[in-house]
Chains A and B, each alone.
Chain A
Amino acid sequence: MTATTARFSLAAGACALAGLLSIPGASVNAQQPPPPQFLTTATQLAAYAQAATRDLNYLPGEVIVKFRVGVSVNQQARALASVRSRPSTDRLQWIADRTARLVVPEDPDSIAVAANLMRQPEVEYAQPNWLRKPSAVPNDTQFAARQWNMTLLDLPRAWDVSRAAGAGVTVAVIDTGLTSVNATYALKTWNGTAIVTAQVPVGINPDMDASRIVGNRDFVFWTGPVVDFDGHGTHVSGTVAQSTNNNLGYAGVAYGAQIMPLKVCLSFWDIQILQAEAGITGFPPLNVGGCPTSAVVAAVRYAADNGAKVINLSLGGTDASPADLDVMNYALTRGVFVAMSAGNEFEDGNPTTYPASYARGVGGAMAVGAVGRTSVRSFYSTTGDFVEIAAPGGDSREGGANGVVYQSGMLFSDYNPAVVILPRFNRYSDVGYQGTSMASPHVAGIAALLMSQGVTSPAAVEAVIRATAKDLGDPGRDNLYGAGLIQPRTALRGLGVLR
């Protein structure tokens, strides 16, 4: 995927500071939890750095391989022998049924390794460990004109119908994370001249009721609680389920739902800290990081196996990934609805986005395109026959700073990697993003509302959302908007005898 990262620069100044929501006492009451184990090795960190510097959309030296049914360990070894470095089966890290992540740093050309493996009779498929990117594009924040998206969707009246607001439904947000602990961690980082240990405060968003954060798990950074060092996952989670009617900050679509933050993406500060912890000096590139397929697959399975009924995937890339399709089908068979961002590459050749394009023709998974304040397709929103529905994602060209989607997010000036040496992640403010990343959680939120109301089949959820959408663009389904703009109230009201 041509990388458009989720990084945003906050407008430093009075507007942002006016909206500052700090966590009183977070540092005072700082706990020193036992040090968690980091999940990414120095070798893998080198792969991330290499991917960033060479602008690769995969992790060099890593592939995902799925063996055919009945293939024995000896047969797996025979298949692996086709790789130039002849890795042993010990290199296989199992992430799903018959599916493993193969780490072969000696063979950095993952595309060639995958191609070799694909030719082996024991192998069902093999692919590079694609590095997905969160599907948001940069913009500034301002305090004014927030949450036009909720008004556009008439959500206040939708909540009149669905007063439970998603209660009892768990939405897994597979992303950069949502901080689920108030703590200060002693973490190593590079200060420009040396590796130092910094006290890094992290805090739960005060506009996200902590009791609704469940089952958090980190698949890429460490074994500790999920911490968002980027902000994208926090924003996406906010759109799904920001606390509402609490006289604070912003509203979320399904504010009664539970959020399961599953961290699968590493961003600058993750890599910076991991590098320093591994004794690697220097700053990584600002664009370093991504969301490896191996982690996405593991997270989707975890979500489906641990009670999530809705998954939001605001990430994507331009390379096909059978592993993504496999795990999406797994989730669907477990009764989980999947919302995915359709991509932000309209002006970059408008390529097909994965895994979103797998939603085409699959009941229960939807690829979501973005619109701005006037319900017109956002300038960046990828189009194609896989786009199934549209939701507010923001459009700064149309609405300027007021045209993006605002939620309560971490104060970017506290951790802006371009200027900050010792970051903090415990202060929250008004943060505007735009992208199909922002559109997708609107659909995930509505899915949670519908599930809460009794529409328990993912395919039925998709059918409701499609059937009640407001047609935009060409009459009927089209490649820009899919079935049209989501209509939460209409969807939640369902059908009477005649209407």
Chain B
Amino acid sequence: MSRRIGICVSAVLLSSATSAWAQGPAAAPAAPRFGLRAFGHFEWQMMAATDTFEAITGKSTLTGVGGGVEVQRLWRGVFARAAVSRMSQSGERIFVFDNIVFPLGVPLDITMTPMELAAGWRFNPIGSRGIVGYLGAGGMFLNYNESSPSDASGEEVSERYNGFLVFGGVEVPVWRFVTAGAEVGWRKVELPDPGGAMGALGEQDLGGVTMRVMVSIRR
């Protein structure tokens, strides 16, 4: 998975670098007071609850898509971001005894929807390609759902948890108002007393390490 992510990120960076090179040097326009940017992204989250997700879905990574908006240059390089993602994965319900996992053959669909409110600092462009780095942190809500086809009313899980995140990334101009970027983050969504497989396997965190490939439009 990480290899695939690396290839994607490299491809995006390479293509954007080429485009930027083709544009050539241009006179910097007068910077507006605020900048607005909308973005879409593909996302991978390597779950902190590795054992739980491997036991139920067979993998510890969830994939999803999402998007958000940023208000830039609130003060110098400061920006604010609101973003939402939706990740889902299917697996099967299990029982855990003595650290042995028994899959039960009962299908289980998992959906996670993290909603982020964050702020950060965008550094000055580096080099002639206009590569911009940034760092940020913030809070998040996580809507978590799990359900099985045989669920009766009230048996499906639909919960909301709070957490926080930090992230950092780079972006490069691609074409006019379009930039491409890659971002790495870390989410922490601590559950005080989880039940289910997380409880049985002694895990408490619905966060994890995230990787995003992003395309932005700014004005």
A466 to B: closest C-beta gap in Å: 10
- Which among B53, B95, B108, B194 is the interface contact of A460 at CB below 8 angstroms? B95
A28 to B: closest C-beta gap in Å: 45
In the complex, which residues of chain A have a beta carbon less than 8 angstroms from the beta carbon of B52? 497
Are B195 and A460 in contact, CB atoms less than 8 angstroms apart? no
- Which among B95, B105, B110, B144 is the interface contact of A495 at CB below 8 angstroms? B95
> Given A455-B104, A492-B106, A493-B106, does the pair A498, B98 have CB atoms closer than 8 Å?
no
In chain A, residues 89-120, which have Cβ atoms closer than 8 Å to a Cβ of chain B?
none
A153 to B: closest C-beta gap in Å: 15
- Which among B93, B144, B200 is the interface contact of A493 at CB below 8 angstroms? B93
In chain A, residues 453-490, which have Cβ atoms closer than 8 Å to a Cβ of chain B?
453-457, 459-460, 463-464
Tell me whether A494 is interfacial, beta carbon within 8 Å.
yes
- Which among A161, A464, A495 is the interface contact of B196 at CB below 8 angstroms? A495
Tally of contact residues, A, Cβ under 8 A: 20
Are A498 and B195 in contact, CB atoms less than 8 angstroms apart? yes
Total A-B pairs, Cβ < 8 A: 88
In the complex, which residues of chain A have a beta carbon less than 8 angstroms from the beta carbon of B150? 160-161, 493
In the complex, which residues of chain A have a beta carbon less than 8 angstroms from the beta carbon of B125? none
Tell me whether A499 is interfacial, beta carbon within 8 Å.
yes
Are A453 and B105 in contact, CB atoms less than 8 angstroms apart? yes
Tell me whether B170 is interfacial, beta carbon within 8 Å.
no
- Nearest neighbor of B112 in chain A, beta-carbon distance: A497
Tell me whether B100 is interfacial, beta carbon within 8 Å.
yes
- Nearest neighbor of A489 in chain B, beta-carbon distance: B152
Against A, the Cβ 8 Å flags (1 = close, 0 = not) of B159-198 are: 1000000000000000000000000000000010011111
The CA of A375 and the CA of B52, in the complex, are separated in Å by 35
In the complex, which residues of chain B have a beta carbon less than 8 angstroms from the beta carbon of A463? 95, 97-98
Tell me whether A496 is interfacial, beta carbon within 8 Å.
yes
- Which among A457, A492, A496 is the interface contact of B97 at CB below 8 angstroms? A457
Are A464 and B97 in contact, CB atoms less than 8 angstroms apart? yes
- Which among A454, A493, A497 is the interface contact of B56 at CB below 8 angstroms? A497
B35 to A: closest C-beta gap in Å: 39
- Which among A160, A459, A460, A496 is the interface contact of B157 at CB below 8 angstroms? A496
Are A498 and B94 in contact, CB atoms less than 8 angstroms apart? no
A443 to B: closest C-beta gap in Å: 16
- Which among A456, A460, A497 is the interface contact of B110 at CB below 8 angstroms? A497
Are A498 and B159 in contact, CB atoms less than 8 angstroms apart? yes
B207 to A: closest C-beta gap in Å: 13
- Which among B104, B110, B146 is the interface contact of A454 at CB below 8 angstroms? B104
Tally of contact residues, B, Cβ under 8 A: 33
> Given A455-B95, A457-B97, A459-B97, does the pair A498, B146 have CB atoms closer than 8 Å?
yes
- Which among A157, A454, A497, A498 is the interface contact of B102 at CB below 8 angstroms? A454
The CA of A482 and the CA of B214, in the complex, are separated in Å by 56
The CA of A495 and the CA of B97, in the complex, are separated in Å by 11
In chain A, residues 424-472, which have Cβ atoms closer than 8 Å to a Cβ of chain B?
453-457, 459-460, 463-464
Tell me whether B148 is interfacial, beta carbon within 8 Å.
yes
The CA of A157 and the CA of B148, in the complex, are separated in Å by 13
Against B, the Cβ 8 Å flags (1 = close, 0 = not) of A148-166 are: 0000000001001100000
- Which among A161, A457, A497 is the interface contact of B146 at CB below 8 angstroms? A497
In the complex, which residues of chain B have a beta carbon less than 8 angstroms from the beta carbon of A455? 95, 97, 102, 104
Tell me whether B96 is interfacial, beta carbon within 8 Å.
yes
The CA of A493 and the CA of B195, in the complex, are separated in Å by 14
A452 to B: closest C-beta gap in Å: 9
Are A495 and B98 in contact, CB atoms less than 8 angstroms apart? no
Tell me whether B103 is interfacial, beta carbon within 8 Å.
yes
Binding site for B on A (CB under 8 A): 157, 160-161, 453-457, 459-460, 463-464, 492-499
Q: Can you list 18 A-B contacts with CB-CB less than 8 angstroms, sorted by A residue number?
A: A454-B103, A455-B97, A457-B100, A459-B98, A460-B100, A492-B104, A493-B155, A496-B93, A496-B108, A497-B108, A497-B196, A497-B197, A498-B144, A498-B194, A498-B197, A498-B198, A499-B146, A499-B157
A496-B110, A498-B191 given; name 19 further pairs at CB < 8 Å: A161-B150, A454-B105, A455-B97, A457-B102, A459-B97, A463-B95, A463-B98, A492-B106, A493-B93, A494-B93, A495-B94, A495-B200, A496-B56, A496-B93, A496-B108, A496-B148, A496-B196, A497-B157, A498-B195
